[in-house]
């Protein structure tokens, strides 16, 4: 799934009011982390994830790897915080994000 610039802006504006759903530790991406994020994405389409303190290029790479592992897309990233979006058709119509 690829998002347009306007869709990313809309998601970032909605994500601004969200709290961090999960923080990754120094262990990084593990099977348990992927499973927990997949579970969270069944209940929410938009999540904020805090990444460990890494150099910027490694954070970008980890964010893309994380999104790929859970089937989501990176809607935005600021510092160590990444915003992940995954469309979920099983959510009731009123709880879905309209892009």
Which CATH number do you get for residue 23? 3.30.110.60
Is position 96 within any domain? no
The domain in which residue 45 lies consists of 5-88
d(CA 46, CA 57): 23
Is position 99 within any domain? no
Rounded to two decimals, the pTM is: 0.90
Is position 12 within any domain? yes
Is position 95 within any domain? no
CA angle (5 as vertex; 4, 10 as ends), nearest 5: 100
pLDDT tens digits, the chain, 99 residues: what are they?
789 999 999 999 999 999 999 999 887 788 999 999 999 999 999 999 999 998 999 999 999 999 999 999 999 999 999 999 999 888 888 888 888
Count: domains in the chain: 1
d(CA 38, CA 23): 14
Query: Which run of H or of E encompasses 6?
Result: helix 5-15
Is position 94 within any domain? no
């Amino acid at each position: 799934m690829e998002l347009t610039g306007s869709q990313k802006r809309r998601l970032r504006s909605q994500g601004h009011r969200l709290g961090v759903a999960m923080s990754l530790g120094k262990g990084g991406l593990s099977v348990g982390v992927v499973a927990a994020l997949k579970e969270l994405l069944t209940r929410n389409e938009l999540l904020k994830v805090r990444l460990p303190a890494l150099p910027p290029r490694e954070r970008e790479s980890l964010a893309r790897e994380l999104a790929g592992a859970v089937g989501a897309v990176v809607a935005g990233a600021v510092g160590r915080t990444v915003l992940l979006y995954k469309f979920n058709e099983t959510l009731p119509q009123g709880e879905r994000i309209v892009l």
